Amino acid sequence: MSSKYKTLKEECYEANMELNALGLVIYTFGNVSAVDRKDSVFAIKPSGVPYEKLIPKDIVIIDFENNRIEGAMKPSSDTKTHSFLYKNWEHIGGIAHTHAMYSVAWAQAQMDIPIFGTTHADHLTADIPCAPPMKDELIEGNYEHNTGIQILNCFDERGLSSSEVEMVLIGNHGPFAWGETAAKAVYNSKVLETVAQMAYLTLQINPSAPRLKESIIKKHYERKHGKNAYYGQ
């Protein structure tokens, strides 16, 4: 594959294949993108291509204005959401969207995922937010672009930081996650799905299960993040 964007395409390809390997997608649904900030472009999965048939050269290169720069195939139908987030959150390097079962179930219930345990607190200190369903006038407009607006509005209204909360549910739709790389966006997608399943099971066992204590939330988050972190090598 001879391309200026060979490395970017390969990063995007590997992340998409990992999304599928982790069981986070159904058939051709779901996508991952990886950004090149220097050239203001990103690589994204082509629309409707089965993962078992996907190859690196199929990956499409798009600029932040949604122009196709390289690639013969149409990009993911969610491309405009990715471009909107890249333009507005300059620190993120990759974005993933899945149709994972438990994450989608919480989104369809239009509910935040409560922080019940330390697996959740290891990654973020807040409930995982669920943005309200999109208004009709936005649905009838530039839908995928407006999904990006929906995400930003949710974070602005709740005072959340996209560098600390790297995941969101879209009411009646499903999850988006992001990170400093495409691989980290996939990682966060798996964390979100696992936490969603754990929270569901917790409420089946005890519908009145209490939220995790703030002292434990603080301890578990700070031992992995921040200047005094001591988890890992």
122 given a catalytic annotation: yes
Residue 181 lies in a domain: yes
* Whole-number average pLDDT of the chain: 94
Residue 230 lies in a domain: no
Residue 178 has pLDDT above 60, yes or no: yes
- pLDDT for the residue numbered 232: 67
Q: Report pTM.
A: 0.93
Q: Helix 182-205 and helix 6-21: axis angle, to 10°?
A: 20
Q: What are the tens digits of pLDDT across the range 24-46?
A: 999 999 999 999 999 999 999 99
39 given a catalytic annotation: no
Counted domains in the chain: 1
CATH code, domain carrying 107: 3.40.225.10
Are the CB atoms for 32 and 96 separated by under 8 Å? yes
What is the span of the domain harbouring residue 150? 6-222
- Residue 57, classed as helix, strand or coil, is helix
Q: What are the tens digits of pLDDT across the range 80-134?
A: 999 999 999 999 999 999 999 999 999 999 999 999 999 999 999 999 999 999 8
Nearest by Cα to 125 from 174, 91, 158: 158
Residue 1 lies in a domain: no
Residue 139 has pLDDT above 60, yes or no: yes
Residue 131 lies in a domain: yes
Amino acid at 230: Y
**Annotated catalytic residue, options 36, 122, 143, 200:** 122
